[in-house]
Amino acid sequence: MNKTVLSFIIIFLCLLTFQSCTQTKPVTIPTAPPKKQKIDIEAATFQKAEQLYQSRAYTEAIDMYLKYITRTTKKEFKDKALMKIGSIYTIQGKFDQATRVYKQLIKEHPDSIFASRAQLGLIYNDYSQKNYENALKQIDPAFTVTHKSDHSRLYLLKGDILLALDRAQESVVAYTYAYEIASQNEVPIIITRARQSISILTQDELQYLINVYQGRFPVVYMLYQQAQNAIKGDNSTQALSILNSIVETYTDHELIPMVQDQIAAIEKGEIFESYTIGCLLPLSGKYRQFGQMALNGALFAHSQFSTLQNVYPVQLKVQDSGETIDDAIGAFEKLLEENVKAIIGPITSDQAEAVALSANANQIPIILLTSREGITLDMEFVFRNFITQELQVRAIVSYAMDELGYHDFAILYPDDPYGQSYMDSFWDAVIEKNGTVRAVNTYSDNQTDFSEPIKKMVGKHFLRPGVSKWRQKKLKPIVDFDALFIPDKPDKIGMIAPQLKYHDINNVQLLGTNLWHSKRLIEISKWYVQNAVFPDLFYCDSQLPHVQQFVSAYEATFEKKPTLWEAITYDSAMILFELLNTGNIQYPMQLKDALIHMTEYRGLTGFMHFDTHGEAQKQLYLLKIKSDDFEEIGLR
C-alpha cells in the first residue's frame, strides 16, 4: 500500500498567449479556470488508521484513530474509531483502558451498531480477565441493549464463558442457539467451539443432548464423539455401528468423508491406540545446547497442557539425534518402535532432510525445526515450523515500503551462500512491490576494511573524468537510496556501520535479518545502528499478554528467560496436543490433514498456519534498536 499524502494537491493550468507576426494586438485565448483537487484529510487519516490496524501496528493505529477523533467535525466514523481503539486495548491486555473507551462509545453513540459491539467488548474484558461469573451475569441483560445482528456473538460468548466454568453441557446449548441465528461467516467458529465442548462431555451428558437434538445441529458431531469414545474404550464394534449410522442417516454432512475414512481405518486396524508425540533433538554433541533449550520448550508445553481440565492424556517420548545423520535415523527408528503419532525435530539441516524422507515413507507427520529452503516439497507428511528467508524478507520489505514509504534500496552483502541467497530474495521482493534497487555490492568473509564496497555503492570508488584526485576525495557520495539491507552477523555489522558514517552515508534506514537480534551488536556498535529494523521469530519482551504470561511462567520454572528455541518447540507441541485433543484424529492421515487445514493458530511466535506444502506461514516480530535495547514495532 502507498503512503497516504495528507496535504492538499493544487494543479495550476498555464494560460497560453499566442501572438501573430502582424502588427495586430496580441490575443489571449481563455482557458478553463484552475481546478483544485481536494483530498479529504479526515477520511485519509481514518483510512491510514485502518491500514495500521490491519497490519497490527496497534500503537500507531491508536495514535491515528485519536488524531481522527480530535480533528473531525463529523460523526461518520467516530464510533468505529472508538470501537477499534477499545479492541486494540483489549488485544494488548489493557482492559481498564478498553472499558473506559467502550463506555465512552456507548454514551456518545447509543444508537450505533458499534455501541452494541461495545457491550460485547465489556463482557469480553471480564471473560479475558477470568471474571467468568461476572461476565455470565451480564449476558442475558445484554440481549435487550444489543442489536439483533450481535445476538449470535452473544450466544457464542456465553458458550465460551460456560465452557471456562466447566459447564460443557450448557455451553453446547448456547453454541446451538448461536448456530441457529449465525451468519455464514460465523458458522465455522461456532462449529469449532461446539465440538470442543462436545469432546469433554460425559457419556450421560452426550446421550442426553443426542436425544434432545435429534436431526438438528450438532447431533452429528455428538454421534461422532460417541464413536471416538467407543474407540478409546476399545469397543470398535460399537464405534463401527455408530459411524455406519451417521453415513446412512446424514448423507450430505461435512463429516461424511472423515467418517468413511475412519470406517476403513478401523476395518484395516490402523486406528491410534494412544496419543504419543516424539521429540528428536540433539542432546549430545556440538548442538546439545540448542537441543536442550528446544526440549525444555516441549516439556514445558506438555506440563502446561497436562494441567488443563478435560483433556486427553498425551505422552512425550524423547530421543537424542546426536551429531550425525546415522545418529538421527537410529533415534527416529526408536521413536517408531514407541509408536509415536507425530515427531518434532530435528534441528540441523542434514539430519532434518534425512529424517524427513523416512518420516514421509512411514507416513508419520513430522514438524521440522530447520531453515533449509524447500525441505517440505513433495512430502505430504513433512511440515516445517521455523524462521525462513522468505518470511524475513517479506516482513522487512513490506514494512519498509508500506509503512515507512521507502521505494529505493541498496544491498551490501557477504560473498557467501547466506549473503547471496538473501541478496537475491530481497531484490526480488523489492521488484515485486514495484520498488527499485539502486546499488548492490559485496565483500569477502575475512574483510575488515569496507571502504571499497561502500564507495562503489555511492559513486566514489571510480575516478570521474576531468576531476582531480584531490577533488575526487571532496565529492559528496551519491546516496540515492532510502534504506540499506545488510544480511550478516553482528560482528560484521559492528565493523560496517561505523564505516558507513565515516563515508558520509547518513540518514539511511538500516535493515537486517534476525542475526541482528543480539546484544553483541549494540555493545560493539550502539550509536551507529540506532533505529535499525530487523525481523525475528520470537521476542521474549513482547507486550502481547499471552507472551508475557508464557515468559513469566517459564522463568518461574527454569529460572531463565526463554529463547526462540523454547518458543518454537512450545508452539509446535501445543499445536499437536490441541489437534489430538479434538477427539477427531485417530490415525496419521487425519493428523496430517488437520495440520494442513489448521486455521490461524495464535502462538508465541505469532499467528500461523501451514500451507499445502507444509510450510508455516506466519507473521514475524519486527524489532528496532533503540538506545541500548530492542523495541517492539509489531507483527508483520
Tell me, yes or no, whether 488 and 531 share the same domain: yes
What is the predicted pLDDT for the residue at 217? 92
The residue from 243, 268, 293 where one domain ends is 268
- Is 569 domain-assigned? yes
Tell me, yes or no, whether 406 and 358 share the same domain: no
At residue 9, the 3 state secondary structure works out as strand
Tell me, yes or no, whether 91 and 158 share the same domain: yes
Tell me, yes or no, whether 440 and 455 share the same domain: yes
Cell of 81: 474509531
Q: What is the DSSP secondary-structure string of 589-613?
A: HHHHHHHHT---EEETTEEEEE-TT
What is the predicted pLDDT for the residue at 273? 53
Structural domains in the chain (count):
3
Q: Tell me 114's DSSP state.
A: H
Phi first, then psi: what are they for 445, rounded to 5°? -65, -35
Tell me, yes or no, whether 445 and 487 share the same domain: yes
- Say how many CA atoms lie within 13 Å of 172 toward its Cβ: 24
Q: Environment class of residue 307 by beta-carbon count within 10 Å: exposed (0-12), middle (13-18) or buried (19+)? A: exposed
The packing angle between helices 187-198 and 151-164, to 10°, is 20
- Is 445 domain-assigned? yes
Distance of CA 64 to the CA centre of its chain: 23
CA distance 625 to 522: 8
Task: Indicate if the alpha-carbon torsion angle 599, 602, 607, 612 is positive or negative.
Answer: negative
Phi first, then psi: what are they for 531, rounded to 5°? 70, 5
Asked whether the beta carbons of 269 and 231 are under 8 A apart, the reply is no
Tell me, yes or no, whether 586 and 531 share the same domain: no
C-alpha distances (whole Å) from 4 to each of 40, 58, 81, 249, 436 are 11, 18, 18, 57, 20
What ranges in 273-324 are assigned the alpha helix state H? 288-306
Q: What is the DSSP secondary-structure string of 381-410?
A: TEEE-S--HHHHHHHHHHIIIIIS---EEE
Strand 533-536 relative to strand 621-626: parallel, antiparallel, unpaired? antiparallel
What ranges in 8-91 are assigned the alpha helix state H? 41-54, 58-71, 78-91
Q: Which residue has the higher pLDDT, 164 or 320?
A: 320
The residue from 481, 507, 536 where one domain ends is 536
pLDDT tens digits for range 116-172: 999 999 998 898 888 889 999 999 999 999 999 999 999 999 999 998 888 999 999
Cell of 247: 453415513
CA distance 320 to 306: 23
The packing angle between helices 256-268 and 219-232, to 10°, is 20
Asked whether the beta carbons of 623 and 517 are under 8 A apart, the reply is yes
pLDDT tens digits for range 184-203: 888 888 888 888 788 888 88
Tell me, yes or no, whether 134 and 260 share the same domain: yes
Tell me, yes or no, whether 513 and 571 share the same domain: no
Tell me, yes or no, whether 110 and 196 share the same domain: yes
Closest Cα partner for 426 from 481, 366, 347?
A: 481
- Is 16 domain-assigned? no
Tell me, yes or no, whether 511 and 588 share the same domain: no
The residue from 268, 292, 322 where one domain ends is 268
What is the predicted pLDDT for the residue at 452? 87
- Is 61 domain-assigned? no
What is the predicted pLDDT for the residue at 471? 56
Structural domain including 560 reads: 276-387+545-621
Task: Give the position of cell 444489543.
Answer: 146
Tell me, yes or no, whether 235 and 290 share the same domain: no
pLDDT tens digits for range 502-532: 888 888 999 999 999 999 999 988 889 999 9
Tell me, yes or no, whether 467 and 349 share the same domain: no
- Is 43 domain-assigned? no
Residue 11 clears pLDDT 70, i.e. is over it: no
Any idea what the CATH number is for the domain that residue 473 is in? 3.40.50.2300
